[in-house]
Structure 1
Amino acid sequence: MTNGEAQEDQTEDRMIVKSRRLELPEESLPTFDGSFENWLLFKNAFRNMVDSRTDLSDVDKLYCLKSALVGEAANKTKIFATDGIDYFKAWELLERSYEVKRILISLHLSLIMNMKTLEKETAAGLSKLANDAQKHVASLKALGVSVTPEIIVHILESKLPKTAIDRWEANLDRNEFPEPDQIYEFLYKSAMRASNANDQRSQIQRKRQVNHQKEGGRFSSNRAFLLNASRSCIACKAKRHPLYMCDKFKKLPIPKRIELIKAAKVCYNCLRSHRDYPCKFSNCTICQKRHNTLLHLENYPTTSKSNIAKPETTQRD
């Protein structure tokens, strides 16, 4: 065989391998980053999805394995070429590095006992609690350690917020201890309940925002009135009440009242500061002009509507 023919055969082999690799389940493969916590789950998943397949060569399996490893685990297998012999060597290296039974048992026992206690019911928190418990129990079982159902239920109960534990206990039989599957089901149903409640709150919030936008200036104007009413009176300086309720203001001669209003730069009509929003108060009850009745003079100075109904200069909070 000539050199040219040999090169053609090698190129053809690479194309065949590349073509076959495109059919491998790369996107659905689990990944492993070198954490002891995830080793057993990764090992079982990879063996079921890749290692057990008879239609894949060892070269393809090593390609899948190296594609599934990230971080520290990926660094360990960099020394291996993509060939059939190195697939077994790479797998043995991973097992020696991460399948340390004593460490794995201690780790999963610690993780299941120290799962985060939920302060409130959330869909994510409740689902994670159920998922993590089942993951650690399954890992311990694979290591030959059996966690009794009573311990599993007790640990999960201790992680629930009061609102959830009250509902859980309300449905329990007095003389029978619940099974793990019961509390798992309760957690998933509670997660769905929390998710639905959150969706409803979001819808209510969106409706409020829409209503707020529709009300526009009217809402802002009313809010300005309320804020203004909470400030100290500009006449007596001592109390927080509307100016038209102030006894000291009412005792002033009308010209003095007008001077006070002008100096304070508040609205001549409602006696409040409401920025640039139009005044909603009614007119003077005596002459029906745009000023407050407390400012009515028989010969009220001729003033434009805008000057009477609004302060001369807008006052900001």
Structure 2
Amino acid sequence: MTASGTSSQLSEHFINIKLSTLNLPSSSGSYEKWPEFSDGFKSPVHNDKKFTDSQRLAYLRSCLSKKVSDRIKSLEKTDANNQVAWRILEKGYDDPRTVINNYIKSFFKLSICENASATSIEDLLNNITKRSRVLEALNIGNK
């Protein structure tokens, strides 16, 4: 038996076993949430050497909403396709320009304080601060 035949059989074997339950983030396809998902997935799975690439791909698929999963559904569950799937998702969702544009648009969608209560003003201030911090973290002024 060739080495590639053995590798293929091992990959198929790992795909058919039950994976350990991990508390992983999920991705709904939000550009704004991609960095959080990416970081939260890379540490426990994507960069962990104890998993095979086909296991990583199985974990990745389990974290994706149907909308996101549709981008990689045509890929077979093989070791080789794990990196392909990750590159497809990064290319589709790791887009700082879209994130910045969406956050800027969100400023204009904030509710107006119709009553000048402390609670409504505090809510507005919290929403503005949250969006400002995200833009600051993306180094919008330095690009």
TM-score (norm 1): 0.34
> Which residue matches 2:101?
106
Cα drift, residue 16 of structure 1 = 7.9
1:95 alignment partner in structure 2: 90
User: Of the two, which has the highest radius of gyration?
Assistant: 1
Q: How many residues align?
A: 130
Return the match for 2:72 from 68, 71, 77: 77
> What is the identity, as a one-letter code, of the residue corresponding to 1:64?
Y
Deviation of 1:101 after TM superposition, in Å, equals: 2.7
**Equivalent residue, structure 2, for 1:64:** 59
Q: Are the equivalent residues in 2 in contact too, given 1:112–1:132 (CA < 8 A)?
A: yes
Give 1:75's aligned amino acid: D
Q: Secondary structure at the match of 1:72?
A: helix
Out of 10, 21, 24, the residue aligned to residue 29 of structure 1 is 24
Deviation at 1:95, TM superposition (A): 1.5
- Structure 1 residues 134 and 95, CA gap change in structure 2 (3 angstroms): same
How far the C-alpha of 1:24 sits from its partner, in A, is 3.9
Distance in 1 of aligned mates of 2:15 and 2:85: 23
Q: Contact (CA 8 Å) 2:27, 2:34: kept in 1 or not?
A: yes
Change (3 A) 1:52 1:134: farther
Deviation digits for residues 131-166 of structure 1 (CA, Å, limit 9, x no counterpart): 88547734652x43259xxxxxxxxxxxxxxxxxxx
CA contact (8 A) 1:39 1:98 kept: yes
The change in CA–CA distance for 1:114 and 1:84 in structure 2 (over 3 A counts) is same
- 1:91 Cα deviation from its structure 2 partner: 1.0
Query: 2:5 matched to which residue of 1?
Result: none
41, 44, 48: which one aligns with 1:49: 44
- SS of the residue corresponding to residue 88 of structure 1 reads helix
Whether the 8 Å CA contact 2:103–2:131 is kept in 1: the answer is no
Hey, what's the Cα distance between the residues in 2 that align with 1:136 and 1:43? Answer: 22
Secondary structure at the aligned position of 2:84 is classed as helix
Q: For the Cα contact (< 8 Å) 2:45–2:56, is it kept in 1?
A: yes
SS in 1 for 2:17: helix
Query: Which structure 2 residues correspond to residues 1-317 of structure 1 after superposition, within 5 A?
Result: 14=13, 18-19=17-18, 21=19, 23-25=20-22, 28-112=23-107, 114-117=109-112, 121=119, 126=123, 130=126, 133-134=129-130, 137-138=133-134, 141=137, 143-145=138-140
User: Which one scores higher on RCO, CA 8 angstroms, separation ≥ 6?
Assistant: 2
The alpha carbon displacement at 1:56 in A equals 1.8
Unaligned runs of 5+ in 2: 2-8
Rounded Cα–Cα distance in structure 1 between residues aligned with 2:47 and 2:55: 12
| Superposed displacement of residue 129, structure 1 | 7.3
Show structure 1 runs of 5+ residues with no match. Answer: 2-9, 148-317
DSSP-derived class of the 2:32 partner: helix
Tell me the amino acid that sits aligned with residue 50 of structure 1: V
Change over 3 Å in CA distance of 1:86–1:73 after alignment to 2:
same
Counterpart secondary structure, 2:33: helix
Mapped contact 1:31–1:69 kept (Cα < 8 A): yes
C-alpha contact (below 8 Å) 1:112/1:133 kept by paired residues: no
**What is the rounded CA distance, in whole Å, between the counterparts of 1:33 and 1:39 in structure 2?**
9
